[in-house]
A and B are shown apart, each in its own frame.
Chain A
């Protein structure tokens, strides 16, 4: 394709592409996100393509490998237009049936449809599925229309029209004001008002300015940035271009984790395609605006998701934060004014420009506007990516969309916001997903990871897990973060191993308070959140560990013993054979006994027992 030199040429290309698309009768959209690729969606694509060429339908049917559809639990998923038919758990063997029945004869393959586990009814389209029905998919819904590696797809669905609008008739001030009045707040964790950041950067002295897209997502269990960047990289690029125009930057960077190979590949391709079309480079679309983007790959340090550490890493230095007494909007990359936003924040920008700030602000709560993508994981039925309006209660996300805990056991808590966030108990589930409300409750929206926990999770152990994660990922530069986290972990390890003393709880609280107030960067300041929130909402569990030397959830190995109920044990010998440590003895048809000295508390016997005779006490 040749370079586009004016807005009209872009519009012309869009019309051409739309006309081309109209002539295609059927489109088969297969999810190519990392989740579905792991469940072999690539094989499905290959099989469907083979089958189509065998039937001679290559010209009439388009197979489109799209970004993540969100319902990763049901992967690989497939959408067929027209009809908007939604198939889940598709395998390569189903290709013939799909092509023969649905594509050629317009019939639905019943067994591939999603079945509502509550009512038992099958759902033909996404709109009928409770998981999708309760969502407000503003960003994610664009994923399913677009092949991530094709700029034509993105232009055909109206891509880069926000950029045209901005370059054609909006001054940078107008763009900044639009973002300001939309009330967009940073989606990466802190929730800093994006408009204020842009204003600050715009007003900062200096001609050389930068914009950065932070795609160094590292929270355990969170993957929304990955899916947006993998599925629709042009949306992020367009947002960055508009941001660059608004703040006056000429150069942008996408800092993406190298552990996200697909995101790296897709954003690389996107940048190249945009350059070929003249959407990046000198005099974009014939205007006076010049801007280019480079993809920088992150080496995998969690701390590099922090803005100053990320910039240090981009500069080629060790990825360590530096004091932020002056905002990075004024003194950022190479000490130049820099606007750094999260992937999701950038992805929100084009639609705000196109539809106006009031459209964006129509969804959301008082302080937090728009929608938020959440990664629903843990002990929950419908794992996947969920996009809801800000202000939606947690209970709606966990129970209506997520479908509650696996195997129907009661949900105990949800951990929101990754290692920097906190755990909220089930009686706080009426709280809305809102930056201010959640941080008041001791958690935070953070990047949007939601890990659901049921009664089998020990909250002290959860705090310990996050602390050890943070201990590994702390850069170690400042004392409160390096030594503070280390000491907190030491105390919590004492508690989980039965050496806890009651006064340690106060020390833990004080230390957490010290770390959160004195640490240098955002990582350190929020590091004690898992401890603070579990102490606040689950103090009785800590006390049970310390005073009664008992782990209520039966997780902490030092405080539990396995015991065989002689009334239930039939002496079948399964556990005896399964035990790797020869800790179980007993004659055939006689109740078995566990030797406590030898038992390593691995729990294999318990999972093997068919009579539920082995219990944790």
Chain B
């Protein structure tokens, strides 16, 4: 028998199974919290920080990631305040400036209200969300790749840079990579430094009904809880 707890998310009282995270609960109830590194069947590391929420304790609100926050009885969570939207916007802007060619990240950025990027674009291929590393280690128990280096030198690589034989090239990592998911319709070409705006229609929906699930394409590709159900 699972134990249940009751918590409040954006003013709505919801019931959740003890031990689940706030993000899973919110998604299940159709409260869409943008997320990138979270995959429902993998452990959470809280790397992308997009799923931040305000956790109100004794009148003071802490900003924390909902994917690593376990539900507790009587918890008060706010997912869509001005403060959170602002912070999320800034985080998404950092991400999209780093990897503007990923459709998934462009979608997230637009969903978080980024229409203009204030940093020079970098055109990198990896945002170190760690989905590939975790799927390899947790689902296939292969640990064929991992994080190497620290800080700005951090990257995903095979042990000592050589593909080990226990990597069966199953492709799970590629499937989960935000760079390959639903390839972008209008990828940014060198010199053409702007967001393409193909996904702006989604932004309009998100604007009209903030905080609600818009059944985005993104969710489908990312194995969003709504699609899985």
B146 nearest CB neighbor, chain A only: A318
Binds A, one of B65-73, B181-189, B217-225: B65-73
Cβ-defined contact, A518 with B49, below 8 A: yes
- Interface: A507 (CB within 8 A): yes
In the assembled complex, how far is the CB of residue A512 from the closest CB belonging to chain B, in whole angstroms? 10
**Selected contact of B154 from candidates A482, A484, A490, A518, CB within 8 Å:** A482
A121 to B181, CA, bound (A): 77
- Interface: A88 (CB within 8 A): no
Cβ-defined contact, A510 with B127, below 8 A: no
Binds B, one of A3-11, A106-114, A448-456, A468-476: A468-476
- Interface: B168 (CB within 8 A): no
- Interface: A477 (CB within 8 A): yes
Binds A, one of B2-10, B25-33, B90-98: B90-98
- Interface: B214 (CB within 8 A): no
Known interface pairs A325-B68, A479-B94; A318-B151 also in contact (CB < 8 Å):
no
B153 nearest CB neighbor, chain A only: A476
- Interface: A487 (CB within 8 A): yes
**Selected contact of A511 from candidates B50, B90, B149, CB within 8 Å:** B90
Report B-chain residues with C-beta under 8 Å of the C-beta of A475. Answer: 150-151, 154
A519 nearest CB neighbor, chain B only: B49
- Interface: A301 (CB within 8 A): yes
- Interface: B48 (CB within 8 A): yes
**Selected contact of B64 from candidates A325, A474, A483, CB within 8 Å:** A325
Report B-chain residues with C-beta under 8 Å of the C-beta of A479. Answer: 47-50, 91, 94-95, 127
Known interface pairs A479-B49, A479-B95; A518-B87 also in contact (CB < 8 Å):
yes
B46 nearest CB neighbor, chain A only: A323
Report B-chain residues with C-beta under 8 Å of the C-beta of A323. Answer: 46, 64-65, 68-69
Q: Which of B73-129 contact A (CB under 8 A)?
A: 86-87, 90-91, 94-95, 97-98, 118-120, 127-128
A478 to B147, CA, bound (A): 13
- Interface: A514 (CB within 8 A): yes
Residue of B86, B94, B127, B154 with most chain A CB atoms under a 10 A cut-off: B94
How many residues on B have C-beta within 8 angstroms of the other chain's C-beta atoms? 33
Cβ-defined contact, A517 with B63, below 8 A: yes
In the assembled complex, how far is the CB of residue A472 from the closest CB belonging to chain B, in whole angstroms? 6
- Interface: A497 (CB within 8 A): no
**Selected contact of B150 from candidates A301, A511, A520, CB within 8 Å:** A301
A301 nearest CB neighbor, chain B only: B150
- Interface: A486 (CB within 8 A): yes
Report B-chain residues with C-beta under 8 Å of the C-beta of A183. Answer: none
Cβ-defined contact, B151 with A474, below 8 A: yes
Residue interface mask A291-325, B partner, CB < 8 A = 1: 00000000001010000000000000010001101
- Interface: A480 (CB within 8 A): yes
A301 to B184, CA, bound (A): 38
Cβ-defined contact, B151 with A472, below 8 A: yes
- Interface: B199 (CB within 8 A): no
In the assembled complex, how far is the CB of residue B126 from the closest CB belonging to chain A, in whole angstroms? 11
Count CB-based A-B contacts (< 8 Å). 87
B90 nearest CB neighbor, chain A only: A514
Cβ-defined contact, A490 with B48, below 8 A: no
A487 to B98, CA, bound (A): 10
Residue interface mask A27-67, B partner, CB < 8 A = 1: 00000000000000000000000000000000000000000
Q: Which of B140-175 contact A (CB under 8 A)?
A: 147, 149-154
**Selected contact of A510 from candidates B48, B90, B154, CB within 8 Å:** B90
Report B-chain residues with C-beta under 8 Å of the C-beta of A517. Answer: 63, 87
B94 nearest CB neighbor, chain A only: A483
Cβ-defined contact, B94 with A487, below 8 A: yes
- Interface: B196 (CB within 8 A): no
**Selected contact of B118 from candidates A301, A483, A507, CB within 8 Å:** A507
A59 to B77, CA, bound (A): 73
**Selected contact of B98 from candidates A303, A483, A519, CB within 8 Å:** A483
A322 to B86, CA, bound (A): 24
Report B-chain residues with C-beta under 8 Å of the C-beta of A518. Answer: 49, 52, 63, 87, 91
**Selected contact of A514 from candidates B45, B64, B87, B149, CB within 8 Å:** B87
Cβ-defined contact, A480 with B94, below 8 A: yes
In the assembled complex, how far is the CB of residue B124 from the closest CB belonging to chain A, in whole angstroms? 10
Report B-chain residues with C-beta under 8 Å of the C-beta of A301. Answer: 150
A471 to B52, CA, bound (A): 23
In the assembled complex, how far is the CB of residue B147 from the closest CB belonging to chain A, in whole angstroms? 7
In the assembled complex, how far is the CB of residue A323 from the closest CB belonging to chain B, in whole angstroms? 4
A479 to B128, CA, bound (A): 9
Report A-chain residues with C-beta under 8 Å of the C-beta of B119. Answer: 487, 490
Known interface pairs A517-B63, A518-B52; A483-B150 also in contact (CB < 8 Å):
no
A325 to B23, CA, bound (A): 14
Having A323-B64, A477-B45, A478-B48, one finds 20 other A-B pairs with CB under 8 Å, namely A303-B150, A322-B46, A323-B68, A323-B69, A325-B68, A471-B151, A471-B152, A475-B151, A476-B147, A476-B152, A477-B128, A478-B47, A482-B152, A483-B95, A486-B152, A487-B119, A510-B90, A518-B52, A518-B91, A520-B49
Could you list 7 examples of A-B contacts with CB < 8 Å? A471-B151, A475-B154, A517-B63, A518-B63, A518-B91, A520-B46, A520-B49
